[in-house]
């Protein structure tokens, strides 16, 4: 379980960095916060499915 905790902490850092990179590429605007929330939501949802698939056996 400790290994999963370490992987998850790294995944959170990677997710946040990927989100910021995508926002910088798209530019800042009035919808930047909504777009960031959408990106984080999508990535987190995908991660939840991965966790259930690989760790909840």
List, for residues 1-57, the tens digit of each pLDDT value.
899 899 999 999 999 999 888 888 777 777 888 888 999 999 999 999 999 998 887
**What is the total count of domains within the chain?**
1
Q: What is the DSSP letter of 27?
A: -
Output the CA–CA distances (angstroms, integers) from residue 22 to 7, 17, 18, in the order listed.
22, 9, 6
Q: How far apart are CA 25 and CA 31, in angstroms?
A: 14
The range of the structural domain enclosing residue 33 comes to 2-55
What local confidence, expressed as pLDDT, does residue 31 receive?
83
Model-wide pTM > 0.85: no
Q: How far apart are CA 25 and CA 42, in angstroms?
A: 18
């Amino acid at each position: 379980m400790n290994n999963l905790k370490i992987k998850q902490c790294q995944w959170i850092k990677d997710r946040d960095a990927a989100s910021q990179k995508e926002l910088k590429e798209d530019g800042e605007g009035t919808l930047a916060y909504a777009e960031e929330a959408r990106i984080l939501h999508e990535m987190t949802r995908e991660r939840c499915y991965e966790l259930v698939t690989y760790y909840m056996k």
